[in-house]
Amino acid sequence: MSVGPPPSYGQATAGFAPPMSGYAPPMQGYAPPMQGYAPPMQGYAPPVSGYAQPPQQSGTQASTNTVTVVTVQPPRTEPPAHPPPDHMKLAYISCLFCPLVALCAISAARRSRDFYRAGDYEKAFLYGRSARVNAISAICAGIFSAIILMVVYREI
């Protein structure tokens, strides 16, 4: 068996089909490729002078426009006899048990006071209740974590 030089590109090798030349023909159904850019536009549009005139109506018609303005004022609320509880003291005490949750309680208690001073008594009541819930949650979380720590680290 004689070993010769490898076949050059384009020549058929034993057992293989000859290589294709060029690109395959384009598939049917596609648009022809675009040829370059569109030509540039020439010049500018003519300048517009003045404003457009309103259309003229035929005949003399009088039109009347009626505008009704309705002003709705918010209902006036009287301050409650006692300010809603903001639970600020409870929020500060809850800092001893779980400081992270207690910060939420302090923030809600401050907002409750701010809304009361601004005259929004309903939001003041809601934030006061939120401060109470957060403070009680902080106290419960602190007691629960203390019990868990005593059980885990109890000396046997």
User: 4-24: per-residue pLDDT in tens?
Assistant: 666 565 555 666 666 667 777
pTM of the model: 0.50
**Residue 32: pLDDT over 60:** yes
How confident is the model at residue 102, as a pLDDT?
96
Give the domain extent around 113.
88-152
Residue 132 belongs to a domain = yes
Rounded Cα distance between 150 and 153, Å, is 5
* Mean of all residue pLDDT scores within the chain: 81
**Mean pLDDT within 91-114:** 96
Residue 72 belongs to a domain = no
Residue 146 belongs to a domain = yes
pLDDT band of residue 125 (cuts 50, 70, 90) is very high
Domain count, the chain: 1
Cα 18 to the chain's mean position, in Å?
A: 61
Judged on CB neighbours under 10 Å (0-12, 13-18, 19+), 93 is: middle
- Among residues 90, 89, 84, 88, which one has the least CA distance to residue 124? 84
**Residue 62: pLDDT over 80:** no
Residue 106 belongs to a domain = yes
What is the CB neighbour count within 10 angstroms for residue 83?
15
pLDDT band of residue 115 (cuts 50, 70, 90) is very high
Residue 94 belongs to a domain = yes
